[in-house]
Amino acid sequence: MNLTQQLMGEFGIKNQMAVPKITRIVVNIGLKEAANDKGVLDKASEQLGVITGQKPKVTRARMSIANFKLRQGAPVGLTVTLRNRRMNDFITRLFRVALPRVRDFHGVSTTAFDKTGNYTLGLSEQIVFPEIDYSKIDKVRGLEITFVIKNGNGTISRRMLELMGMPFKKEQESRRV
């Protein structure tokens, strides 16, 4: 039984077009030091490109904020949107290779769903991906991974990700922490 049929049976969904589905994955890296140092942007862009297999887009500040020493239009991060085959390859590498390499990993949080069923996962270091060459790392950076899910809510989206292989925390562990 495939994923769509299993979700239709569990949740009583009549039409297979109403079953939740991941439409895209957005990967972000925030780079506060990129406004001052252009080399940081190049190195982080290369690393994110290796992780995702796609060239990242530079995100820029929308407005100037004096307290943060930030000017409008200054680079503040990188983002990549993955769809179709690249998205599926990234999901496989994330679930099977990268997440098990996280130190003290007991599963991902079960509370990171928004009201429309999208799931956001934060990683504290990019070196959990085996594609990253340790000798080229200038600084350990965190990244944010958002699964954009169509036709979902928190419950159905969580079950869909569980069936796909996402390692969620067990209930007693998530209460304790």
DSSP 69-124: TB-TT-EEEEEEEE-HHHHHHHHHHIIIIIGGGSTT---B-S--B-TTS-EEEEES
Residue 25 has a pLDDT of: 92
Both tokens assigned to 168: 């969620």
Q: Phi, psi (5° rounding) for residue 116? A: -95, 5
Total residues belonging to the chain: 177
- Of 36, 114, 28, residue with least CA distance to 77: 28
Residue 68 has a pLDDT of: 66
Average pLDDT, the chain: 80
Q: How many CB atoms lie within 10 A of CB 173?
A: 12
Name the more confident of 29 and 168.
Answer: 29
Q: Please provide the CATH number assigned to the domain covering 3-167.
A: 3.30.1440.10
pTM tops 0.85, yes or no: no
Question: pLDDT per residue over 65-102, tens digit each?
Answer: 666 666 777 777 889 999 999 899 888 888 888 877 77
- Give the pLDDT mean for 36-43: 75
- For residues 129 and 47, the answer to whether their CB atoms sit within 8 Å is no
Q: How many CB atoms lie within 10 A of CB 136?
A: 10
What is the distance between the alpha carbons of residues 148 and 160, in angstroms, rounded to a whole number? Answer: 13
